Amino acid sequence: MTDTAGQGEERVADEGEQPLGERGAERSEEPGEKRPAEPGEDRSAQERIRERRRAAQRSARRNLSRAGWGGTIGERLAQLRDEAPQVYDLDEQADIYGDGVVTALEERVAALLGTEAAAFFPTGTMAQQIALRCWAGRTGNPTVALHALAHPEVHERHAFSQVSGLRPVTVTSEPRLPTAAEVRDLDEPFGALMLELPLRDAGFVLPTWEELTEVVEAARARDAVVHFDGARLWEATVHFDRPVDEIASLADSVYVSFYKSLGGFGGAALAGPKTLVEEAKTWRHRYGGMVFQQFPTALSALAGLERELPRLPDYVRHARVVAAALREGFAEAGLPWARVHPETPHTHEFQVWLPYDPEVVAEAAVRQAEETSVMLFANGWDRGGPGLAVTEVTVRSAGLEWTAADVRAAVMDFVSRLPGKE
């Protein structure tokens, strides 16, 4: 399952639309950006199905994976207007170059993660490059050990090497987190080990707590620092059965996102020792990250921490109910070769694999939403191999309204729209 190369139509996999493209190819994960067309691929057909899917998402009466970011500008601003007074004093002066509400957000994140300090960044790409650049200066080694499916390797156009002078080396390409043995046996020195928790492109997977602590110990035994790509760390607490600050305490530094799970407008934070964070703020300025005023994004992040963070454990637990119902529904519908990965989701996000070409299942998913106003699969479909399609399912607040019976019924209706199942 390491080759989930993308020749299908565009999927939506985060709190933003993710373009497809081959695993490891130069492709962005920024919302709305389109991937280059593959040889012989009908781009106009892709765009038509994408537009139909977006229209169906807006009009669907029920949507298993309805995302807040999909609202109109007016809807997004109205939600922030309603929530912002509950998380910050709006009579205070707006921020200027990171003071005021931005500082309040940084302090909140540091307290949640149990670190000495935190710094707000406009993007996670910038935050992680700077964190690892700072560690490289401190360790004297610019080599970063990471997974072949780690975000910088798949989604950032080789930014580590092209922009920050870092040298990424792959620990493993298996669809799981690296093991302690692989870290110990890596055949060249490295200054930092970067762990993406959860590993999104492998199916939002996490190691066990024991495996994670052993990996961290193995890196430290090699005199390396450990950095967590924790864009989705917020929802890892159920799997590890530990609070987020205890998880973060294993690492020397942690990056978290404000939009992927919390529903903010964007932004990220880097948390860790005060000296590292202060150095990172200097590099943030050099990288162009000193935005004049950021109060809309900071307020949306604070609102997301207030609204979504307490709900994430419920999302994770219900994702397991949904995943089981999907498996049962596919079996009852006579589609035995259908896979939910992981079988028991580690977070509130997981993959579904079906034995069809991506354009076939994409059409069935959109027609179901258009004709019944019920959207089972809101994201696009990627090509996972010959005759295989893969999509990502996310359970948010709207998904909590779906019972197992609702999911099974929707699966039966969806399968009836596939070739040979009419």
20 or 395, greater pLDDT: 395
What pLDDT was estimated at residue 69? 79
Nearest to 405 by CA among 348, 341, 336, 328: 328
Contact criterion met (CB below 8 Å) for 14 and 395: no
Tokens for 41, please give them: 């691929």
Please write the tens of the pLDDT for every residue from 303-354. Answer: 999 999 999 999 999 999 999 999 999 999 999 899 999 999 999 999 999 9
pLDDT confidence of residue 10: 36
Instruction: Tell which residue, 315, 320, 323, has the closest CA to residue 400.
Output: 315
Q: What is the pLDDT of residue 16?
A: 36
pLDDT at 199 over 70: yes
Q: What percent of the chain has pLDDT over 90?
A: 85
Taking the whole predicted model, whether its pTM rises above 0.85 is answered as: yes
Residues 145-172 have a mean pLDDT of: 95
pLDDT at 71: 83
Instruction: Report the half-sphere exposure of 154 (CA within 13 A, side-chain side).
Output: 24
What's the whole-number mean pLDDT along residues 43-55? 89
Q: Is the pLDDT of residue 103 over 60?
A: yes
Cis peptide before 342 (omega within 30 of 0): yes
Q: Tell me if 39 sits within 8 A of 284, measured CB to CB.
A: no
How far, in Å, CA of 338 to CA of 341, rounded?
Answer: 10
Residues 210-214: contacts with CB within 8 Å, 24+ apart? 211/177, 211/179, 211/180, 212/177, 212/240, 212/250, 213/250, 214/179, 214/180
Of the pLDDT bands very low, low, confident and very high (cuts 50, 70, 90), residue 143 is very high
Q: At residue 254, does pLDDT exceed 80? A: yes
Structure tokens at 332: 């009852």
